[in-house]
Amino acid sequence: MFCMAIWLSGSVFTAVVATENFYTIDRLIAKSPNDVFRVVVETMENPPARDLLRYLSSELNRLYFQYWNIAQLPVGLVALSLVSTIPRSRLATWGIVAMLCVVLFLMVFITPPILSIGRTLDFVPRNPPPPELRTFGLLHATYSAFTLVNVVVGILVTLWIQKEHPSQLV
């Protein structure tokens, strides 16, 4: 249960942090409580300052997702080894195996092109939209959808463990 809590919390936390990184840029540019920051943004003018901050946010998000992808493997393997010792835990075991497969799929096939294409889009004007933007959007949507699948499966695994073995959780 503890491993599942870490896995689920990390997935949600990473998604929230990545989203908030971009929203924070617009909030700070619109109304920062820091006078020095406001002066620097006004000196640079809004579009270049926003582009620079979005680039920083993008690089941080790329780093967070890479680290989270790697961190999920040991958490998932520990969860798998623990749940496999519990009698009558086939659904939970297969659920964790499925979650690990999703993580590996994202690490190998989705994350590398997201990073590569994302970097080609940094500082590129969006009007007209560059052709790579559609591919990036599809990859990002795929990553998000598979992460959501993992969260749902993780919740189900946690419920199966709790339902089948409530006395072992005390």
pLDDT tens digits along 7-55: 999 999 999 999 999 999 999 999 999 999 989 888 887 788 889 999 9
- pLDDT for the residue 116: 98
CA distances 111 to 7, 61, 115, 123, 130, Å, are 18, 12, 6, 20, 20
Domain boundaries, the chain: 2-164
Residue 111 pLDDT more than 70?
Answer: yes
- pLDDT for the residue 167: 65
Position 168 confidence tier, pLDDT thresholds 50, 70, 90: low
Residue, of 110 and 165, whose pLDDT is higher: 110
Interatomic CA distance for residues 58 and 48, integer angstroms: 15
Q: What is the pLDDT of residues 133-167, one digit of tens each?
A: 999 999 999 999 999 999 999 999 999 999 887 76
Q: What is the pLDDT of residues 50-80, one digit of tens each?
A: 899 999 999 999 999 999 999 999 999 999 9
The helix (H) or strand (E) run that includes residue 18 is helix 2-30
- pLDDT for the residue 170: 47
